[in-house]
Amino acid sequence: MWSVAVFHALVVMNLLFVTGAWCLARPSVPAAAVLVAVSVLWLFANGPIEGGILYSFSVEHGLTESDVLSVIGFVLAAVSVWRVRRSPWYR
């Protein structure tokens, strides 16, 4: 049986994918800002579908498989800002 928490986590994950695609298709600083915000939100919402532990910091804290999506979101946001900054229309 699915719970409401799993549903909310899946909604945030889909929002993360959509904003990532937005940054890749139409790079802009507002798109990157939204992607960073959703990536931070994903760190708090991914509890029900975290997956396996990749690295443990302590007994109760660690880096999980779904946390990697936030890291990818931050990298895509940085690439988006970099693409906007090097664009000839930015100047």
Residue extents of the structural domains in the chain:
4-85
Q: Which amino acid is at 90?
A: Y
Q: Which amino acid is at 67?
A: D
pTM over 0.85: yes
Phi-psi region of 51 (alpha: psi -120 to 50; beta: other; left: phi over 0): left
Which of the four pLDDT bands, split at 50, 70 and 90, describes residue 39? very high
Cβ atoms of 64 and 48 within 8 Å: the answer is: no
User: What gap in Å lies between CA 67 and CA 15, rounded to an integer?
Assistant: 15
pLDDT over 70 at 1, yes or no: no
Q: Which of 24-33, 42-51, 55-64 is predicted least confidently?
A: 55-64
